[in-house]
Amino acid sequence: MPQTLTEKILSRAAGKSVSPGDVVEINVDIAAFHDLTGYHVIEVMEKAGMLKVFDKQKIVIAFDHLAPPPDVRSAEIQTQIRKFVKQLSIPNFHDINVGILHQILLEKYANPGYVIVAADSHTTTSGAVGAFAQGLGASDVAAAVITGKTWIMVPQPFKITLEGKPGKWINGKDVSLKILGDFKADYFNGMSIEVFVKEPSAFPMDFRATVSNMGIEMNADALMFVPDEETINYIKTNRGYEPPTIRPDEEAKYVDEYTIELNKLEPLVAAPHSVDNVKTVNEVEGLDVDQVYIGSCTNGRLSDFEMAAKILKGKRVKTRCIAIPASYDLFKKAMDLGYIEILVNAGCVVTYGTCGPCLGGHFGVAGPGETIVSTSSRNFKGRMGSNDSKVYLSGPAVAAATALEGKITDPRRFS
């Protein structure tokens, strides 16, 4: 029988042919966690009396949510995890100087066809290279870390096709928001989304990572880009080897499908307090903003900084603007390309490799009554700090244009 990408990956992982609706035990290729959930994972392992890992090479740990630690408890959490890493000799450990877990998984570990589970919902990001990747809670991840297995209900596959080329200021965020606006946040519950890109080079890995990242906002079980030459080029360039290829069969059946014409997209935003409260930038243009955040595992990549730098070059921002590349490697690249200098000269506060403001953690928490434009993934009530703050989600072009004008601004004014 012809199989979708979802069925192919999960059949291999289950060691038998699976179909949507089946509940099966599967082997995982990578189990990962970060500081904020990691101490909880270790706590569960300790309580179960099973402080062991199924395969050291397949565990990935990164410090990002509390990095560098903003208080003593955060430092204590990191100390506990460093002790665990040392005790079990975990090789793939990334301390505060490397970056956000999902970006590191993409840069160094995720391969097409992999099953990846991690104690963070945005694990879906690794779907950008065609991995079936999903977030789980601390208990489930603890079980996966110990046994190398988890259980899953095989999701219903849904096909999305991206056609044409996106315009100058359009980014993966606009595709995510388009899907969320059209389908709403509950539609894909129990489904996995497989995305086919008609012109692979027109939708680069950075854009794909943003869309996969927000697969969890669509409540999809996974959001995977079907591996193509763009996937192979990305892994070859970053890691020096050609990844295994896996594609769905031509005749594979999907529950439904949907096409997005990239050239017709316009800059979109998600208004408070819901990710599917999507509007065009023109519908909210002119609204006063207190702070802009460019970064996070959603939109902290090189092309995001390139877009922001194009808009901010030689100018000064009118709002507070915080900019955080998603990894130290990206920070260095952005520095070499001059983007960091442009942002600093424009008045942005720039640091690297922390989740910081995205979850109201540190380095830019929203105060009462404040309005934020953020390139991160969520605008839930109180997400970035005060319950009385408002978060508008956007891509980096809208965010940079907004920082420049002090109010929500259409980046197409900067052609």
Partner 1 sequence: MIVEGKVLKFGDKIDTDIIIPARYLKYTDPQYLAQHAMEPLDPEFYKKASAGVILVAGKVFGMGSSREQAAIALKAAGVKAIIAESFARIFYRNAINNGLPAIVLPDATKLINQDDYVKVNVETGEIIVNNQKVYKGRGITGMPLKILESGGLLDYLKKVSVKG
Residue numbering of the annotated binding site for [4Fe-4S] cluster: 297, 355, 358
**C-beta closer to partner 1: residue 92 or 124:** 124
Nearest residue to 293 via CA among 414, 160, 148, 394: 394
Candidate ranges 103-111, 183-191, 193-201, 306-314; the one touching partner 1 (CB under 8 A): 183-191
Q: Yes or no: say if 120 and 34 are a contact pair by the CB < 8 Å rule.
A: yes
Spatial neighbors of 204 by CB under 8 A, at least 6 apart, are: 230, 303
Burial pattern 97-119, b for ≥16 Cβ within 10 A else e, equals ebbbbbbbbbbbbbbbbbbbbbb
**C-beta closer to partner 1: residue 160 or 180:** 180
Closest contact distance (angstroms) between CB of 64 and partner 1 is 13
Number of C-beta neighbours around residue 368 at 10 A: 9
Residues numbered 359 to 388 that lie near partner 1 (CB under 8 A) are 359-361, 378, 380-383, 387
Q: How far apart are the first and last CA of the chain?
A: 50
Cβ burial of 87 (10 Å; 0-12, 13-18, 19+) is exposed
Candidate ranges 53-61, 163-171, 279-287, 358-366; the one touching partner 1 (CB under 8 A): 358-366
Among 15, 48, 245, 288, binds partner 1 (CB under 8 A): 48
Candidate ranges 71-79, 105-113, 161-169, 231-239; the one touching partner 1 (CB under 8 A): 71-79
Q: Yes or no: say if 359 and 372 are a contact pair by the CB < 8 Å rule.
A: no
Tell whether residue 181 is a contact of partner 1 (CB under 8 A).
no
Spatial neighbors of 175 by CB under 8 A, at least 6 apart, are: 162, 166, 207, 210, 211, 260, 262, 265
Nearest residue to 332 via CA among 308, 307, 353, 348: 353
Closest contact distance (angstroms) between CB of 290 and partner 1 is 19
Tell whether residue 145 is a contact of partner 1 (CB under 8 A).
no
Candidate ranges 66-74, 255-263, 289-297, 345-353; the one touching partner 1 (CB under 8 A): 66-74
Q: What are phi and psi of 27, to 5 degrees?
A: -85, 145
Helix (H, G, I), strand (E, B) or coil at 262: helix
Among 1, 186, 336, 415, binds partner 1 (CB under 8 A): 186
Tell whether residue 64 is a contact of partner 1 (CB under 8 A).
no
Candidate ranges 1-9, 132-140, 263-271, 309-317; the one touching partner 1 (CB under 8 A): 132-140
**C-beta closer to partner 1: residue 44 or 209:** 44
**C-beta closer to partner 1: residue 80 or 303:** 80
Q: Which residues contact partner 1 by CB under 8 A?
A: 23, 36-37, 40, 43-44, 47-50, 66, 73-74, 77, 119-121, 123, 134-140, 143, 151, 185-186, 189-190, 216-217, 219, 221, 274, 359-361, 378, 380-383, 387
